[in-house]
């Protein structure tokens, strides 16, 4: 079995006085694609933001490649080789495609796939056609590709991918699935938050299911597919 | 007016545009990235002039030496800026907007006293630029050579900034951070150093703007507030965060001012309009117009709906019986003060000052606490009320009783007009606009000699005979203050008060349940203006007169400090804050020449350590003691 790259123990998170995450435990091993599933408001995005150091109030332990990062700010965590793709994309609309990629670029990292703008344009030919277009003048799907590419420019070991299939056209969803599989082949580890079980089945190895900030299920995709109770109680709409 | 005269004025406009742009571009750059509206930017400009004075005096005899001195001065200012950013501003990036504005304003006060300490109070005339002391002839008029250099420097700096922002990785990061700081940091960029570098660059530009003025104007201590007012206007007109916008706005404003000067006095329908005196008003009028038709400025972008940045405020509660009894006892004690006139002869005089301050602070608190609108120009209403009363008594020979009622109506009128514009904006923009309106009032008062007495003010405004004794005036002020506070308090608990607070907490939701948010805020503005005006009118009679200094920026800021010192989230806060502030001002200002620096430190202390103010901190402490045990168990549960 591969070594553990990310380990979260007893993670609690708060927004102001509201307690959002309750003792979340999870593990991601090198080379895996792990799904973080649950309905809207279950705490998927909050978990990712907490891991990435973006929340001001959290408790618990987060270890990334053997380093404790629970108290580290986002830029330090990013420099260690963790990438984050937010669900609302957040491309820099005033910057061109190439400039967006420039913001994300970091030095080459041993043992992680190395990305350049050219390689990303191979992965996303659409982007290659518009290197000088401002991010604001792109379609939702194109922005989604740009935001993933921007994060990959940091040559991460692990990417937190927050709902890449949300709010984009079905054809883009398919491209996203292909992209995730391509990235996995390159050796990238991915923690993917997702509501759509079919999408997760397609690309993920294991899944955690969240409900109201608690982990309710943990297992392989086959186990999740077979567990009707979990799917009915925590996933179906 | 001749063609050559007009041409020279337009060229002068270009010179001013360059120096305006240097200061404003730095301000805009800093705001774009850090979202902090840096009040102290004018102070860095002022320091640029002073430091250049020192350097050029020592090494500026040769052409090379002069320019090295200019660059060196700018670098010194940049270094100071970086230091201040690291030590102070880093701590306030997450604070509410109001605290950020105040933190930078405290720097204005501290830096001004620093300059006073180093260079003294006199104006300093520096040496001129070697090699550029002559002038050239344009259509028969002389135009200084140095000014030609100034005309070129503005566009040159614009070009360099454009290259920096568009062709370097640093520039790309800056532009990205202007849009989404958090995202930039998740991509591995250390925001802290990015902010420091931007702040240093902004200060460099301000310092350069100042240093380049060294041969043209004397270094003096008024340069900071003078330049910051105009720089704000340029940035707001150009669009916050937009460098080309700042250039365009600087050009527009400088040329309009130049035209005003070129026109001189014009006659319309037999009335003289001294256009050359309109320059101060002109820039603020341009800003008011731009803000109404295009609130995000010429080249700015509409800002996303500002997130509610003030933390949830606790609801106001009716006071407990014990609090009411304490208040009654306090009032009784105040009523008895004149009985002990022999023992404390000075008590009534200082208390009258405190009462006026309390009423002023309470009226400001009304609009900024429950109203949620951070007015940086509340002195305008104080000033209108004061001048209204003074003019009625001295010029129109009306009795004091009438003036005391009619004077504040002028403040109401002002609040009606200014409020109508102001409630259309929010956050920093609202703060800037109120600041601009107060500057307009101030400059009108300062320049309209025939009516307001200009810089001398109006004196000899004494109360009617039956109120002329210290004790009578004391009781009058006490009762006006008490009535004012009770009325303001009553309004806050009335349905209208609920509507104000609803509009503050969520204007969208308030709108949706049928509250006409803009109208409610407008009325709140007018109410605050009325009581601010009453404070001003009473002030006139207590001092026997009024002058422009008493209604300047300083008064607005004093008001803000009083409210925050006491605690903006409590009703009793402004009362305590105003009392302590006035007493402190009275006792400290007598001991030291550096009262401003002391005041600056107090503000920093509030912002960095006691953001809840005195009353807020005490009441948190009380709550904590009361609920000590349950709070502890809660914490244990959470950490389990």
Checking A140-143 for CB contacts under 8 A at 24+ apart, the result is A140/A89, A140/A167, A140/A168, A140/A169, A140/A172, A141/A168, A141/A169, A141/A171, A141/A172, A141/A175, A143/A89, A143/A91
Q: Does the CB of B183 have a partner CB in chain A at under 8 Å?
A: yes
The answer to whether residue A80 scores a pLDDT higher than 70 is: yes
pLDDT of residue B311: 52
Distance, in Å, from the CA atom of A146 to the CA atom of A127, rounded to the nearest integer, reads 7
The ipTM estimated for the assembled molecules is 0.93
What is the largest distance, in Å, between two alpha-carbon atoms of chain A?
A: 50
pLDDT of residue B306: 43
Of B94, B172, B638, the CB nearest to A103: B172
A107 — pLDDT class (breaks 50, 70, 90): very high
Q: Which of B187, B301, B313 to mutate to test the interface with A (most CBs of A within 10 A)?
A: B187
Q: Does the CB of B179 have a partner CB in chain A at under 8 Å?
A: yes
The answer to whether residue A89 scores a pLDDT higher than 90 is: no
Using alpha carbons, select from B92, B86, B95 the residue that is nearest to residue B190: B86
Q: Does the CB of A146 have a partner CB in chain B at under 8 Å?
A: no
Using alpha carbons, select from A134, A147, A48 the residue that is nearest to residue A90: A147
Contact B175 A99 (CB under 8 A): yes
In chain A, the domains with their CATH numbers are 4-235 (3.40.50.300)
Q: What percent of chain A has pLDDT over 90?
A: 71
Average pLDDT over residues A55-80: 93
Query: pLDDT, tens digit, for every residue of A131-189?
Result: 999 999 998 889 999 999 999 999 999 999 999 888 788 888 888 899 999 999 999 99
Q: Which residues of chain B make contact with A106, given a CB cutoff of 8 A?
A: 188
A53 — pLDDT class (breaks 50, 70, 90): very high
Q: Which residues of chain B have pLDDT under 50?
A: 305-310, 630-640
The A residues from 83 to 102 touching B (CB cutoff 8 Å) are 84, 86, 90, 92-95, 99-100, 102
How far is A230 from chain B, CA to nearest CA, in Å?
26
DSSP string, B108-177: HHHHHHHHHHHH-SS-BPPPPPTT--SEEEETTEEEEHHHHHHHHHHHHHHHHHHHHHHHSHHHHHHHHH
Q: Which residues of chain A make contact with B185, given a CB cutoff of 8 A?
A: 73-75, 78
Architecture of the domain whose range is B328-609: Orthogonal Bundle (1.10)
Distance, in Å, from the CA atom of A160 to the CA atom of A83, rounded to the nearest integer, reads 6
Average pLDDT over residues A213-224: 94
How far is B123 from chain A, CA to nearest CA, in Å?
45
The A residues from 10 to 29 touching B (CB cutoff 8 Å) are 12, 16, 19
Q: Is B19 helix (H, G, I), strand (E, B) or coil?
A: helix
pLDDT of residue A1: 61
Distances in Å between the Cα of A31 and the Cα atoms of A26, A28, A105, A191, B14 are: 15, 9, 22, 10, 63
Q: Where are the domains of chain B?
A: 3-231, 328-609
pLDDT of residue B462: 81
């Amino acid at each position: 079995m591969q070594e553990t790259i990310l380990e979260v123990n007893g993670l609690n998170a708060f927004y102001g006085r509201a307690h959002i995450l309750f003792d979340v435990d999870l593990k991601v091993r090198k080379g895996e694609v792990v799904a973080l599933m649950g309905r809207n408001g279950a705490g998927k995005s909050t978990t990712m933001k907490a891991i990435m150091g973006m929340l001001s109030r959290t408790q618990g332990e987060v270890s990334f490649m053997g380093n404790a990062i629970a108290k580290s700010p986002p830029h330090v965590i990013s420099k260690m080789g963790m990438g984050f793709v937010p669900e609302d994309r957040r491309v820099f609309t005033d910057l061109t495609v190439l400039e967006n990629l420039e913001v994300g670029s970091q030095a080459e990292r041993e043992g992680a796939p190395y990305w350049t703008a050219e390689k990303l344009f191979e992965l996303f030919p659409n982007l290659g056609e518009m290197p000088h277009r401002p991010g604001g003048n792109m379609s939702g799907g194109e922005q989604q590709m740009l935001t993933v590419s921007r994060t990959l420019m940091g040559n991460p070991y692990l990417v937190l991918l927050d709902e890449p299939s949300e709010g984009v056209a079905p054809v883009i969803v398919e491209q996203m699935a292909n992209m995730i599989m391509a990235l996995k082949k390159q050796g990238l580890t991915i923690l993917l938050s997702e509501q759509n079980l079919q999408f997760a089945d397609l690309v993920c190895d294991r899944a955690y299911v969240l409900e109201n900030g608690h982990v309710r299920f943990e297992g392989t995709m086959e186990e999740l597919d077979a567990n009707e109770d979990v799917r009915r109680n925590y996933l179906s709409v | 007016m001749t063609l050559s005269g007009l041409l020279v004025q337009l060229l002068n406009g270009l010179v001013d545009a360059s120096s305006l742009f240097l200061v404003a571009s730095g301000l805009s750059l800093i705001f774009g990235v850090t979202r902090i509206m840096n009040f102290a930017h004018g102070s860095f400009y002022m320091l640029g002039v002073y430091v250049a004075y020192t350097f050029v005096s020592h090494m500026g005899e040769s052409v090379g030496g002069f320019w090295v001195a200019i660059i060196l001065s700018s670098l010194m200012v940049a270094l100071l800026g970086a230091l201040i950013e690291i030590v102070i501003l880093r701590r306030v990036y997450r604070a509410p907007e109001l605290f950020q504005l105040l933190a930078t304003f405290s720097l204005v006060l501290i830096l001004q006293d620093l300059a006073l300490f180093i260079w003294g109070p006199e104006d300093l005339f520096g040496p001129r630029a070697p090699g550029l002391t002559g002038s050239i002839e344009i259509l028969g008029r002389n135009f200084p050579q140095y000014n030609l250099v100034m005309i070129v420097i503005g566009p040159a700096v614009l070009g360099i900034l454009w290259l920096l922002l568009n062709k370097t990785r640093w520039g790309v990061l800056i532009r990205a951070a202007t849009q989404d700081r958090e995202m930039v940091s998740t991509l591995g960029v250390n925001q802290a150093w990015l902010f420091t570098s931007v702040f240093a660059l902004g200060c460099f530009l301000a310092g350069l703007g100042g240093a380049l003025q060294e041969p043209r104007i004397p270094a003096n201590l008024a340069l900071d507030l003078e330049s910051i007012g105009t720089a704000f206007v340029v940035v707001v007109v150009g669009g916050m965060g937009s460098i080309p916008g700042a250039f365009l706005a600087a050009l527009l404003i400088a040329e309009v001012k130049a035209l005003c000067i070129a026109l001189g006095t014009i006659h319309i329908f037999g009335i003289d309009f001294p256009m050359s005196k309109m320059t101060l008003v002109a820039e603020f009028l341009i800003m008011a117009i731009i803000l109404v038709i295009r609130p995000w400025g010429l080249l700015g972008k509409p800002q996303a709906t500002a997130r509610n940045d003030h933390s949830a405020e606790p609801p106001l509660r009716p006071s407990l019986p014990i609090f009411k009894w304490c208040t009654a006892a306090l009032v009784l004690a105040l009523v008895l003060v004149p009985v002990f006139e022999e023992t404390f002869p000075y008590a009534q005089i200082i208390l009258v000052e405190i009462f006026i301050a309390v009423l002023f602070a309470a009226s400001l608190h009304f609009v900024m606490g429950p109203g949620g609108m951070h007015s940086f120009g509340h002195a305008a209403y104080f000033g209108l009320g004061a001048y209204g009363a003074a003019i009625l008594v001295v010029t129109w020979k009306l009795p004091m009783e009438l003036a005391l009622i009619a004077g504040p109506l002028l403040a109401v009128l002002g609040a009606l007009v200014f409020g109508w514009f102001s409630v259309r904006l929010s956050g920093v923009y609202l703060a800037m606009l109120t600041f601009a309106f107060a500057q307009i009032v101030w400059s009108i008062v300062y320049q309209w000699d025939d009516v307001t007495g200009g810089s001398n003010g109006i004196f000899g405004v004494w109360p009617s005979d039956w109120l002329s004794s210290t004790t009578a005036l004391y009781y009058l002020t006490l009762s006006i203050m008490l009535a004012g506070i009770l009325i303001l308090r009553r309004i806050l608990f009335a349905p209208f008060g609920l509507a104000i607070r609803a509009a503050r907490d969520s204007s969208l939701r308030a709108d949706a349940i049928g509250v006409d948010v803009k109208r409610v805020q407008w009325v709140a503005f007018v109410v605050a203006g009325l009581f601010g005006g009453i404070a001003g009118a009473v002030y006139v009679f207590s001092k026997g007169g009024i002058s422009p200094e008493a209604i300047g920026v300083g008064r607005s800021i004093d008001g803000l400090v009083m409210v925050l010192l006491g605690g903006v989230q409590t009703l009793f806060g402004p009362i305590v804050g105003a009392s302590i502030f006035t007493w402190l001002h009275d006792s400290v200002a007598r001991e030291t020449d550096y009262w401003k620096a002391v005041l600056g430190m107090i503000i920093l202390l509030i912002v960095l350590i006691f953001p809840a103010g005195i009353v807020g901190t005490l009441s948190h402490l009380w709550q904590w003691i009361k609920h000590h045990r349950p709070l502890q168990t809660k914490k244990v549960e959470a950490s389990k």
